[in-house]
C-alpha cells in the first residue's frame, strides 16, 4: 500500500523539490501551502506522515503541530525548520512532533528518516506484551496501560517505551535508542530523545499519581543512556 504524506510548506521552491522527490520514491503526496489548508486536509483525509514547515505565513507552526497531533494521535509528524536553536526544536517536539529536520534539507536524510518512521509504524514483528509492575506495554496492539487505564502516547513515545520495556533493568545506550527507535543513520542532535523521555516520564508519573499504581521509572545513566527499572534505589519519581 502506498504511504500517504501531507506536505505543509509555503516556500514554492522547497515544496516543488520535496514533492517531486517524494513522488519519485513512490509516495502519495498532498501539498498544502498554508497551515489552515494543511489542518483542513488532515481533518478530511487519511495521512501516514506529515512534513510540516514551522515558518508558515498564516499560523504559527507550533500551533499547527499541536492541532495536527490532536486530530490524529497516530500520525507521524516531522517538522521542517530553519530554526536550528535548541529551544525552538524542543518546543516543536513538545508540541507533538516525532522528529525534525533543519533546513537546508538533505534529501538522502529526509528519505532515510521517512522510511524509518513508516517502517516502524507498520512493522508487526516484536512482539509481545510486557508487564512491569502495574504498567503493561502491549506491542502488537500498540497500547500501554497503567493499572488498567490507557496511557496516551505519541508514536515515538510508544516506540521508546516499548524498546526500554523489552529489556527491563538493562542499560540501553543513547546510540542504541537513536538507532532502533529513530534511524540507524541518524544525522543530528539526540535532543529529540531527551524530549521524548521527559514526555513519557511525565505521562507515566501523572497517571501513577492519580491511580496509586506501581510503575517503573526511566532512570538516566549519565554518559550512557537510560534504564527502565521498577523500584530503583531512590524510589519515587526522582531521576538521576
Residue reference for cell 526522582: 238
pLDDT at 145 (0 to 100): 93
pLDDT at 121 (0 to 100): 64
Count the Cβ atoms, other than its own, within 10 Å of residue 73. 12
Instruction: Compute the half-sphere exposure of residue 48: CA atoms within 13 Å on the CB side of its CA.
Output: 17
44-62 in b/e burial notation, b at 16+ Cβ within 10 A? eeebbbbbbbbebeebebb
- Ranges of the chain with pLDDT below 70: 1, 83-86, 120-128, 184-189, 234-240
Task: Specify the pTM.
Answer: 0.60
pLDDT at 186 (0 to 100): 59
Instruction: Compute the half-sphere exposure of residue 215: CA atoms within 13 Å on the CB side of its CA.
Output: 31
pLDDT at 184 (0 to 100): 57
pLDDT at 92 (0 to 100): 84
CB 121 within 8 A of CB 162: no
Amino acid at each position: 500500500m502506498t504511504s500517504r504524506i501531507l506536505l505543509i510548506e509555503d516556500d514554492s521552491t522547497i515544496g516543488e523539490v520535496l514533492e517531486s522527490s517524494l513522488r519519485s520514491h513512490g509516495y502519495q503526496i498532498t501539498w498544502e501551502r498554508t497551515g489552515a489548508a494543511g489542518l483542513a486536509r488532515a481533518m478530511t483525509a487519511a495521512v501516514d506522515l506529515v512534513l510540516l514547515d514551522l515558518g508558515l505565513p498564516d499560523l504559527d507552526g507550533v500551533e499547527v503541530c499541536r492541532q495536527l497531533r490532536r486530530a490524529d494521535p497516530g500520525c507521524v509528524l516531522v517538522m521542517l525548520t530553519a530554526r536550528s536553536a535548541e529551544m525552538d526544536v524542543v518546543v516543536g517536539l513538545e508540541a507533538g512532533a516525532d522528529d525534525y529536520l533543519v533546513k537546508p534539507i538533505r534529501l538522502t536524510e529526509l528519505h532515510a528518516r521517512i522510511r524509518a518512521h513508516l517502517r516502524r509504524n507498520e512493522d508487526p514483528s516484536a512482539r509481545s506484551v510486557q508487564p512491569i509492575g502495574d504498567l503493561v506495554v502491549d506491542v502488537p496492539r500498540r497500547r500501554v496501560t497503567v493499572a488498567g487505564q490507557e496511557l496516551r502516547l505519541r508514536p515515538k513515545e510508544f516506540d521508546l517505551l516499548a524498546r526500554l520495556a523489552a529489556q527491563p533493568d538493562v542499560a540501553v545506550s543513547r546510540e542504541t535508542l537513536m538507532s532502533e527507535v529513530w534511524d540507524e543513520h541518524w544525522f543530528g542532535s539526540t535532543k529529540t530523545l531527551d524530549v521524548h523521555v521527559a514526555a513519557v516520564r511525565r505521562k507515566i508519573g501523572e497517571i501513577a499519581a492519580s491511580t496509586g499504581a506501581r510503575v517503573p521509572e526511566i532512570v538516566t545513566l549519565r554518559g550512557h543512556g537510560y534504564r527502565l527499572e521498577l523500584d530503583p534505589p531512590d524510589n519515587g519519581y526522582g531521576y538521576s
